Structure 1
Amino acid sequence: MFDSLVSATTDTSGAGAVESWQRVESAACARRVAAMAGMFQTACAAEGSGERDLWCTDTWDAVAAHIGAAQRITFHAASNQLLIAVALHERFPQVAAVFAEGLITYQLVRTVVQRGALVVDPDALHELDRLLAEALSTREPMSTSTLEKTVDAFVAQVDPHAVHRTETRARGRSVDVREDDDGSGMATVYATLFAHDAKAFDARIDALARTVCPADPRTLDQRRADAIGTLAHGNDRLACLCETSDCPAAQNTPSTGVVVYVIASADTLDERPTPPPAPPSPEPPPTTPDAEDAEPSADVNDAAAVDSSNECTALDGEPPAMFTKPLRELTLTEALTPTPGRLATIRPAAMMGGQFLPGAIACRAAAEATITRIVHPGQAPPEPRYRPSKKLADFVRCRDMTCRFPGCRAPATNCDVDHTIPWPYGPTTASNLKCLCRRHHLLKTFWDGQSGWRDQQLDDGTVIWTAPDGRTHITTPGSRLLFPELSEPTATVVASGVPTAHTAGLTMPRRKTTRAQDRASHIQREREREFEIGSDTEGVYSTPWTRRKVSPSNKPSQVR
């Protein structure tokens, strides 16, 4: 089937080629999803899998971690894909068959799984699967929005209590923080609030933006943006950047209750670029009666008064002119070539987790920060204890920046410092320590035998992982690109014995209920909530437990 789809792309071009290859892509994706479902079925059939259902890191976590490592994606992204894969093949086999033919995309499959998640009756689920498979294979292609309406209509037909109703806008309020991936060191915040909270928020950041003195170089919009950071750090005012000794707004240091870790080179903080000397002032032209009557011309030194070469001050105020002469006098090459060295001379930094931070922004972040020096241990001997010292742990976190499991991006500040060769067989030294988030730490420690992961660490911090299927995955320290000096080799590890499967006395944290029980309970609660919301008929509100009459005067109303 798949080979015939690929063969059908021969001698195609234009829109025909786009359509043919789109179907091939969907069919290939269907086989990838089927492979994920197969991995989970195999893991569930393995000996001892039933006992692991109550483990904190259960069979689902182990399979999702393997999928994430294979695709170099985060655990949560892999877990979501596994959820779609298992639900598709266990609950919607006929839709899976349509997907395997390349007739629908993964986005539509995900919509089917999500919108039909509350259908639990086997007969209703089978009928829903049949109706959807028929609609997706015989009707015209559907958009995601059209399919959502179609799925809801079919669900209402086979199981009215399982309809996903659209939430009101108030229930959908949220705050979304998106880190810009363009290397600018910026982030975008989207928020939907109650109107009164939004009014208070606007007044609050405006008041903070006006706590600086008039000599602050930032515009009001820039100060309002910085005021949001002030709120996030718990400060009581905005730090003034006028750099004058008698500034009335800079008498008290702002207080903060939030810690943000930034890794920067000493060069970034110490070797600030010095502004070039101002050019000498030209002799004033002789005064003539005509010149006195003429309009005053711009001083040629006005542009030099604002030092655009200083990266730290270039972040504030009005943007400088893009060109130094009129456009009609520029060649095409000059118009397309940026100013050399603009925001590029200060060595960049990074936030814990790997987000790139330009050097100028790192200098701004260090203005009111506590600076801790990171010391490379070199060939220092191991520390004679299990828990590393703060100095060694800080080095390991700054070297790794994130969890070292393949595909995981958890910041190192939220990770455990793990011994690659377990203590006491492996020493407490940088070459034997790495950062692992709690989930992957438990996975490595307790999932031993054929279903477990094995790791080997090199002197420069490189970790070589061997998956349960024998494939290898290599992860390098997150600091290697921006701070290669942190990846310089440290003392070679010498094991003092053959470690056991895991340290004696440790036990896997256990769940009170299995993942399947949690999912069934969630579905039941959602079905009951939908039944309570959706049974409004002539002033009568029904719940699974009570039934009461509501008069029009006290009938609940929706506030918009």
Structure 2
Amino acid sequence: MFDDLVDATTGTRGAGALSSWARVENAACAQRVATMAAMLDEAHAASGSADRDQWCLDNLDAVAAHIGAAQNITPGTASHQLLVAVALHDRFPRVAAVFAEGLITYALVKTVVHRGALVIDPDALRALDGLLAEAFGDWEPRSVDKTEKAIDVSVAQVDPHAVRRDETKARGRSVEVRIEEDGSGLATVLATLFAHDAKAFQARLKNLAATVCPDDPRTADQLRADAIGAIGTDRMACLCGNDDCPAAQDPPATGVVVYVIASEDTLADPAPGPSAPRHETPAPPTETPADTDEPTAAAERAAIDGEEPPLFDKPLRDLTLTEAMTPTPARLASLRPAALMGGQFLPGALACRATIGATITRIVHPGQASPENRYRPSRKLADFVRCRDMTCRFPGCRVPASQTDIDHTIPWPHGPTAASNLKCVCRRHHLLKTFWGGENGWRDRQLDDGTVIWTAPDGKEFVTTPGSRLLFPELSRPTATVTTTGRPTPHTAGLTMPRRRITRARDRADRVRYERQRNEAAQA
């Protein structure tokens, strides 16, 4: 079927080609989803799989880890895709067949899985599957809201108690912190609060913004934005720079820890730098080009506060057309960028701002130093490994290194406690390596520069490099080569995988039963 769809694109162009390739894309996605479901079936067919369903890292988690590594996506995204795949092929086979023909999109499949999740009677589920498969043949384009309502109509026909009730607006309140991946070093905070809490929050921001002195260079909007960052303290750091500033006598303090990795040059005291080539805006012959400020580090640090500088250096009415079309370009930053512990890019000026009230720890590269004669690495070595790796080293995982375990690639005591044998692995993937490892499971080996090569159960290799390699390549300089003592043996002796109180299937069944009971009570 898929090959026939690809062949049908031959000779097409324009809108016809667009339609044909969109159907091929849907069919290819259906093949990918079916492969995920088949991988989980194979895991359940393996010997001892029933007992592993009680494991904290169960069969589904292990398969999701393999899916995440193969597609280079995060574990959460991989788990969600696998759950959709299983629900589609176990509960909606006729919808899956329509999907395989490329007639519907993955977004619609996800909506079907979600809106039909409460149907538990086998006859009702088969009826719903048939209704939707027939309806999708002549559906016109719909918005997300209309799509959900149309599917809910079909659900109500087969099982009125299975219609998912929309949450009230109050129950949908949440806070989302989204760190921008554009290198700006900024984040977006989206919050939905109770009205009275929002009023109190607004007043809190105003009070915090008022703790700086009048000479602070920030605008009112910038002060309110920085007040959100200082919400964990009782006051803000004043940036006026005056030695006798009364607001600076009581610096802020907080118990919250945020790790920022920066070059020593970036955090050095501001000092005038050499003059850079000066851009001059074209001017009449009788005028002399205006002088421009030197792009010193101090100027870069100050440039993130205050009003936006004018786009042109003279009034618009005095500009020629050429001058209006070519505004003065911005200079390249001279401060070396930094990074958050997690890999997010942070411009040098923002890294300097983060040092206010912060504790600065110097990271020492171990070079060719001998291994430490103990299992747990010293604080100095652990800090180096975390700053070198920045994140969990499993393929696709983005858990910050500050929230991970430091794992011996070759198990202790046969493998030394040295930088070339240590890496950051989150607890989930640490358990995966320990209990789903071995000759037929996940295996890893590490190079002297911190590169880790993972081998999946199917034999495919995935290479991950230290997260610091782009911004801080000096941290990836090779360290002492690992020398093993004796023959490494499986290190699971005496260890047991943490177990779930109930299986994942039982937990899902309980949640479905609870929501159905609520629906029945609401209808009564």
Q: What does residue 522 of structure 1 align with?
A: 511
What pairs with 1:284-363 in structure 2 (closer than 5 Å)? Answer: 310-325=299-314, 328-329=319-320, 331=322, 335=326, 338-341=329-332, 344-363=333-352
Shift of 1:339: 2.3
Q: What does residue 269 of structure 1 align with?
A: 267
Q: 2:244 aligns with which of 232, 242, 246?
A: 246
Q: 2:413 aligns with which of 414, 424, 439?
A: 424
Q: Unpaired runs of 5+ in structure 2? A: 276-288
- One-letter identity of the residue aligned with 2:158: V
Q: Unpaired runs of 5+ in structure 1? A: 278-299, 536-541, 543-560
CA distance 1:74–1:315, shift in 2 (3 Å): same
Shift of 1:150: 1.4
CA distance 1:66–1:307, shift in 2 (3 Å): closer
Q: What does residue 454 of structure 1 align with?
A: 443
- One-letter identity of the residue aligned with 1:236: D
What secondary structure, in the 3-state scheme, does the structure 2 residue paired with 1:193 have? coil
Give RMSD over aligned pairs.
Answer: 2.1
Conserved? CA contact 2:435–2:492, under 8 Å: no
Deviation by residue 1:430-484 (Cα, 9 ceiling, x = unmatched): 0000000000000001113454100000000000000000000000000000000
Q: 1:377 aligns with which of 366, 376, 380?
A: 366
Conserved? CA contact 1:26–1:105, under 8 Å: yes
Matched, 1:199 2:199: yes
Shift of 1:332: 7.1
Shift of 1:201: 0.5
What pairs with 1:457-536 in structure 2 (closer than 5 Å)? Answer: 457-532=446-521, 534-535=522-523
Q: What does residue 36 of structure 1 align with?
A: 36
What secondary structure, in the 3-state scheme, does the structure 1 residue paired with 2:172 have? coil
CA distance 1:152–1:350, shift in 2 (3 Å): same
- One-letter identity of the residue aligned with 2:32: R
1: distance between equivalents of 2:431 and 2:296?
54
Conserved? CA contact 2:406–2:425, under 8 Å: yes
- One-letter identity of the residue aligned with 1:115: R
Of 114-123 and 330-339, more deviation after overlay is shown by 330-339
- One-letter identity of the residue aligned with 1:386: Y
Shift of 1:505: 1.8
CA distance 1:330–1:419, shift in 2 (3 Å): farther
CA distance 1:366–1:45, shift in 2 (3 Å): same
Shift of 1:502: 2.1
Shift of 1:306: 12
2: distance between equivalents of 1:246 and 1:303?
31
Conserved? CA contact 2:311–2:327, under 8 Å: no
1: distance between equivalents of 2:141 and 2:199?
44
2: distance between equivalents of 1:405 and 1:184?
26
Conserved? CA contact 1:386–1:424, under 8 Å: yes
2: distance between equivalents of 1:268 and 1:402?
22
Shift of 1:354: 0.3
Deviation by residue 1:380-421 (Cα, 9 ceiling, x = unmatched): 111111111111111100000000000000000110000000
Conserved? CA contact 1:274–1:310, under 8 Å: no
Shift of 1:333: 10
CA distance 1:198–1:254, shift in 2 (3 Å): same
Deviation by residue 1:262-319 (Cα, 9 ceiling, x = unmatched): 0001011016352789xxxxxxxxxxxxxxxxxxxxxx99986999971110011111
Conserved? CA contact 1:446–1:502, under 8 Å: no
CA distance 1:411–1:399, shift in 2 (3 Å): same
How many residues end up aligned between the 2 structures? Answer: 509
CA distance 1:386–1:304, shift in 2 (3 Å): closer
- One-letter identity of the residue aligned with 1:167: E
Q: What does residue 12 of structure 1 align with?
A: 12
What secondary structure, in the 3-state scheme, does the structure 2 residue paired with 1:268 have? coil
2: distance between equivalents of 1:316 and 1:115?
48
1: distance between equivalents of 2:360 and 2:297?
27
2: distance between equivalents of 1:15 and 1:309?
55
Q: What does residue 151 of structure 2 align with?
A: 151
Conserved? CA contact 2:295–2:331, under 8 Å: no
- One-letter identity of the residue aligned with 2:234: D
CA distance 1:408–1:349, shift in 2 (3 Å): same
2: distance between equivalents of 1:4 and 1:143?
30
Conserved? CA contact 1:174–1:193, under 8 Å: yes
Shift of 1:138: 3.2
TM-score, length-normalised on structure 1? 0.88
- Percent identity over the alignment is 69
CA distance 1:50–1:164, shift in 2 (3 Å): same
Conserved? CA contact 1:273–1:346, under 8 Å: no
- One-letter identity of the residue aligned with 1:453: W
CA distance 1:90–1:427, shift in 2 (3 Å): same
Q: What does residue 183 of structure 1 align with?
A: 183
What secondary structure, in the 3-state scheme, does the structure 2 residue paired with 1:311 have? helix
2: distance between equivalents of 1:235 and 1:263?
23
Q: What does residue 216 of structure 1 align with?
A: 216
Conserved? CA contact 1:448–1:501, under 8 Å: no
- One-letter identity of the residue aligned with 2:253: S
Shift of 1:154: 1.1
Matched, 1:125 2:114: no
What secondary structure, in the 3-state scheme, does the structure 1 residue paired with 2:265 have? helix
CA distance 1:180–1:398, shift in 2 (3 Å): same
What secondary structure, in the 3-state scheme, does the structure 2 residue paired with 1:56 have? coil
Shift of 1:139: 3.2
Deviation by residue 1:178-221 (Cα, 9 ceiling, x = unmatched): 11111100001111111100011011101111111110000011
Q: What does residue 436 of structure 1 align with?
A: 425
- One-letter identity of the residue aligned with 1:152: D
TM-score, length-normalised on structure 2? 0.93
Deviation by residue 1:308-365 (Cα, 9 ceiling, x = unmatched): 9711100111111122345633637972662222xx1100000000000000000000
Q: What does residue 547 of structure 1 align with?
A: none
What secondary structure, in the 3-state scheme, does the structure 1 residue paired with 2:41 have? helix
What pairs with 1:534-553 in structure 2 (closer than 5 Å)? Answer: 534-535=522-523, 542=524
- One-letter identity of the residue aligned with 1:12: T
CA distance 1:275–1:489, shift in 2 (3 Å): closer
